[in-house]
Amino acid sequence: MTGTHPLILAGSAAETTRLVAYWLLAILSVAAAVGMVLARRAVHCAMLLAVIMLSLAVFYAMLGAPFLAFVQIIVYTGAVLMLFLFVLMIVGISAADSIIETIRGQRMWAALAGIAMLVLLCLVVGHAVIGSAAPNSAKFSNGNVTTLANLIFTRYLYPFEITSALLITAAVGAMVLAHRERTTPKPTQRELAARRIASGRPTPLPGPGTYAQHNAADMPALLPDGSQSELSVSPVLSGRSGETPRELPGATAIPVAPPETAGSVAGPASAGGQEAGEQ
C-alpha cells in the first residue's frame, strides 16, 4: 500500500502488520471493556478504561487520523482519566460496589437489554453497505493536521466558537459546584490554641516508628513501656478494609527493661555510677 502514514510500515508487510495489530488490540480492548463492567473496584475500572483508550488511539492512527490519535492520548488518558483518579482519591479509593441488587432482576434485565441492543445494532450494520476504505491521500497522513485545521476554521467555525462557550461554562460550573460555602466563621489562631488546650492533648500526635529494618508510615511507634502507640498511625491506614494491621516484628518480644539490665545497656558513665553505688 503506497502512501501510508510513516508510523505504519509501508510495503508488502504493512497489511499483515495492520491485521495483527487490529486483532490484538480489538481482543484486548473488548476484554478490558468487559473487565471494566465486571471489576468491583473503581480504580481497576479506571485502569482498564486507560487500556481501552490507548488501543483506540492506535486504531485512530491506523485509520488515518494521527491528530485524533494524539488528542485521544493527551485529552483522554492524560486529562480525563487523571480527573477520574483524582475524584476517586476524594470519594474513597477502596469504595467497592455492593453485590446486593437494590432493584430486583436489574442485572438480568440489563443483560437482556444489552443483547437486544447488540442484535439491533448488528442488524442495522449488517444491512448497511460498508464499503472499503477510500483511496489513500495526503489528508490521511502528513496533511492531516492542515486539512483538519482548514475544515475547523472554515466550515465548522461556528461549532468551534460555540465549543469555546461550552468549555467556559463547564469550567465555571465546575468551580461553582465544587466550591464549598463556609457556614461558620474561620477560626482564629487564638480559638485554635484554646481548642487544642481544651482537647486534653496540647502536643502534636506522635510520628510513626522508625526502626532499623522498617521505616514506613504504617509502622506504629513504641511507647516507653514497650507497647505500640495507636495514635502514631493514621486512622486511614489502620482502618483500611481488607488489610490486617502490620505486625511489628519482635514488638512483643521487646521486654520492658528491668532496672538491673538497664544498667548494662546504658552508657558507660551511668554504668560506672551504678557500679560505684553498688560497691
Partner 1 sequence: MVSPAHFIALSVILFVIGAVGVLVRRNAIVVFMCVELMLNAANLAFVTFARMHGALDGQVIAFFVMVVAAAEVVVGLAILTAIFRARRSASVDDANLMKY
* Range 12-31, binding partner 1 (CB under 8 A): 15, 18-19, 22, 26, 29-30
Q: What part of residues 25-84 is at the interface with partner 1 (CB under 8 A)?
A: 26, 29-30, 33-34, 36-37, 42, 45-46, 49, 52-53, 56, 59-60, 62-65, 67-68, 71-72, 75-76, 79-80, 83-84
- Choose among 100, 102, 88: nearest CA to 42: 88
Chain center to CA of 43 = 6
Kindly state the DSSP code that residue 8 receives in the 8-state scheme.
Answer: S
Which residues contact residue 28 at a Cβ distance below 8 angstroms, ignoring those fewer than 6 apart?
Answer: 51, 55
Q: Binding mask 159-178 vs partner 1 (x if CB under 8 A, - otherwise)?
A: x---x--xx-xxx-xxx-xx
For the chain, the residue count is 279
Q: How many CB atoms lie within 10 A of CB 14?
A: 14
Instruction: List the Cα angle 270/274/279 in 5-degree steps.
Output: 145
CB 85 within 8 A of CB 163: no
For residues 148 and 222, which CB has a smaller minimum distance to partner 1 in the complex?
148
Kindly state the DSSP code that residue 137 receives in the 8-state scheme.
Answer: -
| Nearest distance, CB of residue 243 and partner 1, angstroms | 21
For residues 118 and 194, which CB has a smaller minimum distance to partner 1 in the complex?
118
For residues 126 and 250, which CB has a smaller minimum distance to partner 1 in the complex?
126
For residues 104 and 201, which CB has a smaller minimum distance to partner 1 in the complex?
104
Q: What part of residues 80-139 is at the interface with partner 1 (CB under 8 A)?
A: 80, 83-84, 87-88, 90-92, 95, 97-98, 102, 106-107, 109-111, 113-114, 117-118, 121-122, 125, 130-135, 137, 139
CB 94 within 8 A of CB 240: yes
Q: Binding mask 187-206 vs partner 1 (x if CB under 8 A, - otherwise)?
A: --------------------
